[in-house]
Amino acid sequence: MTDTDPTPEGDASVEAATSAGAGAEAVDAEPELDRDGTSTPVPIAEPELSDDAIERVASILEAGRLADGPEVRAFEEEFASYCGTADAVATANGTTALHAALEAIGLEAGDAVITSPFSFVASANAIRLAGGTPVFADIDPETYTLDPTDVERVLGERNDIVGLLPVHLYGLPADMPALCELADAHDLFVVEDACQAHGAKIDGRRVGEFGDAACFSFYPTKNMTTGEGGMIVTDRDDIAARAASYVNHGRETDGTGGYEHVALGHNYRLTSVAAAIGRTQLERLPACNRARREHAAYYDDRLADLPLETPTEPANARHVYHQYTVRTDERDALESTLSEREVQTGVYYETPIHRQPAYETVSTAAASLPQAERAAADVLSLPVHPGLTERDRRTVVEAVRDHFTTQ
Ligand SMILES: Cc1ncc(COP(=O)(O)O)c(C=O)c1O
């Protein structure tokens, strides 16, 4: 894996704020201690909160403005600027971001939207919540993201598709150049599910810049967190205005709303406390992503000779390793070896969405999607979060190597 990002992220002050640092030197220089002085498992995820976050939250609490307010507006502006979009609308979580974005785009009952079957269920649920029908295309077995060739097959078979909802899974962008070309050719909207990919790039552009809208989650396991939280980014004024209204009970968005409700809406607002945490997390994101990439490179080097597949990073992409996911046909055995060695792992996702019980009644879910089904049986994610110590990642590598070499 090489860092193909032409624009190095962050600056020295951001770097210094990250406990894991970014370079090999910084990580290797860490003392040989257990993570908190005791013998604890290596966690699969760990939020990286700074003192700064605590101070900012304290100042919000002191000011007493807890719900929506200027702190949320400031977070929206900073997040839009990071993503390179004109607008951002904060929401209560990633699921509500996806739902509100689809409502703002004007999805209508029965509209069919192509998405990935190999994702967290919220990707497809959002389409259903907005009244649409999710239609699944298969994934590319190397990137685990929507395969444009299979999307094209589905477009050839159906004439009711109005949009694409690709998922940037594990921190790797879907093939947006190819998917956007298909969307243009078939006059489809694109909503990016970027819930796992804050800061990832393809063709030198950040995720969020490609679709009509893109949605992020700030759940604690994500590359940045607000506890619960989400964000819609968009360059389209009409989508930004309708989404901002939808998340605020259908009020006008110029602040004159009061108890006048011009459209159907919801309370999907983010709190000021969450926004305060988010602003500090956004400052740390570039350094945290660099630390994730450095851990991934460490694993790539040390696992390359084993009979397992390490993650792919296409030459035009910059992966941000929300997950470092390997695949092997002895996934369950590897998972139990690692558990015995106190290394936490995760299976994302054991059941593809079209095989979920909640999708039994969705007729479009009956399709056979062999790549998604195979991936669900083979994938295992190893700890890759920025808080990993040198000792943690060595423990991970030794445990994986021992599994394959001492049988
Ligand atoms: C790909 C994907 N989409 C949507 C979501 C939903 O985000 P949230 O949990 O913040 O509602 C998640 C969160 O796990 C996700 O990973």
User: Which CATH number do you get for residue 347?
Assistant: 3.90.1150.10
Total of domains in the chain: 2
- Distance, in Å, from the CA atom of 262 to the CA atom of 332, rounded to the nearest integer, reads 53
Among 120, 165, 168, 322, residue to substitute to test ligand 1 (most atoms within 8 Å of Cβ): 120
CATH number of the domain bearing residue 103: 3.40.640.10
1 domain residue, yes or no: no
Q: Are residues 297 and 253 in the same domain?
A: no
Q: Are residues 248 and 332 in the same domain?
A: no
Same domain for 71 and 201, yes or no, is yes
Q: Is the domain of 348 the same as that of 234? A: no
Domain boundary among 243, 262, 279: 279
Cα 135 to Cα 222: distance, rounded to the nearest angstrom: 26
Q: Is residue 359 part of a domain?
A: yes
| Residue 190 belongs to some domain of the structure | yes
pLDDT of residue 47: 87
Strands 201-202 and 205-206: antiparallel
Supply 383's token pair: 């700890």
User: Exposure of 208 by Cβ count < 10 A (0-12 exposed, 13-18 middle, 19+ buried)?
Assistant: buried
Q: Which of 118, 195, 225 to mutate to test the pocket of ligand 1 (most atoms within 8 A of CB)?
A: 195
In this structure, are 154 and 303 located in the same domain?
no
Which of 214, 246, 279 is the C-terminal boundary of a domain?
279
Calculate the alpha carbon distances from 404 to 106, 131, 302, 334 in Å: 51, 48, 13, 8
Q: Do 40 and 67 fall into the same domain?
A: no
Residues 127 and 19 both lie in one domain: no
- pLDDT tens-digit profile, the chain (407 residues): 333 343 344 333 333 333 333 333 333 333 344 555 545 799 999 988 888 999 999 999 999 989 999 999 999 999 999 999 999 999 999 999 999 999 999 999 989 999 999 999 999 999 999 999 999 999 999 999 999 999 999 999 999 999 999 999 999 999 999 999 999 999 999 999 999 999 999 999 999 999 999 999 999 999 999 999 999 999 999 999 999 999 999 998 776 568 889 899 999 999 999 999 999 999 999 999 999 999 999 999 999 999 999 999 999 999 999 999 999 999 999 999 999 999 999 999 999 999 999 999 998 888 889 999 999 999 999 999 999 999 999 999 999 999 999 86
- In whole angstroms, what is the distance from residue 93 CA to residue 382 CA? 25
Q: Tell me, rounded to whole angstroms, the distance of Cα 193 from its chain centroid.
A: 7
Give the pLDDT score at 31.
35
Same domain, 86 and 159: yes
Which pLDDT score, from 0 to 100, does residue 4 have?
A: 37
- Tell whether 143 and 291 lie within a shared domain: no
Of the three residues 251, 279, 307, the one that is the final residue of a domain is 279
Q: Which of 217, 228, 348 to mutate to test the pocket of ligand 1 (most atoms within 8 A of CB)?
A: 217
Domain holding 147, by residue range, is: 51-279
Q: In the structure, which protein residues have their CB atom closer than 6 angstroms to any atom of ligand 1?
A: 93-95, 119-120, 122-123, 167, 193, 195-196, 217, 219, 230
76 and 126 in one domain? yes
Rounded CA gap, 72 and 295, in Å? 32
Does a structural domain hold residue 27? yes
- The pLDDT, as a whole number, for residue 252 is 86
